[in-house]
Amino acid sequence: MGILAWMSTNSALLRIYDFLALGVFNFWVWRCPTGSILLPFFNKHIGEGAHLDVAVGTGYYPATSVHRLSKCKNVALLDTNPRALDVAAARLRAAGYKGAIEKVHHSVFESLPNSLRGKFDSISIFYTLNRLPGSFPPKASHVFAVLSAGLAPDGVLYGATILGKTADHTLLSRALLWLYNRRGWFGNKVDSVENLEKALRGMFEEVQVRVVGVVALFEARRPIPR
């Protein structure tokens, strides 16, 4: 995220990053296109009251979804990097969002502040689990436990994550998977869709998971009381 935040200080570099990561890599490497799969999935589940986007990256998804987010009175952006929060918030505002934008400098491994509990009709977490250290189910279960506390009674938690070596990788994606894990950019070497679903079903009553390319798209509702 440090490199991404540095790139985001320059609008030209930001566009290049989005073109490569969200365009070239999603289409050709992970085989889950942004325009036809990921962005429609992001849009589809946006709630009508308040939305939380976790690990905001460049702010692409909220900014590109401003027509759907406009029905939300409040959008919260959560990230451990304050610069990423600033860039994502500015990008969302520049896209035309008129509601309140809350920047939350926070880790998905830490309990949500009381002010965020039970607040959100929708929570999105895209390409975050694959970057976190650890393995499924434990790391996913912990993150889901943290985020489920932020859901309103009829809220939905949804997202996407790049799967590990058990997925249907090509030679190219398998090579990049190995490189990214070796460098510490990813932590998903053994992440499987079966263990992702196991983590979800241990936390929620209603779960749906599907795989496109080597990316798992998931949605979950009705957290199991603890």
- The tens digit of pLDDT for each residue in 85-127 reads 999 999 999 999 999 999 999 999 999 999 999 999 999 999 9
> Alpha-carbon distance 88 to 93, whole Å?
9
Q: What is the pLDDT of residue 215?
A: 98
Q: Considering the entire predicted model, what is its pTM?
A: 0.93
Q: Given 3.40.390.10, 3.30.2010.10, 3.40.50.150, 2.30.30.100, which CATH number is that of 2-223?
A: 3.40.50.150
Assess whether pLDDT exceeds 60 at residue 202.
yes
Report angle CA 82, 144, 109 to the nearest 5 degrees: 40
Q: Are 214 and 30 in contact (CB under 8 A)?
A: yes
Cis amide bond preceding 138, omega within 30: no
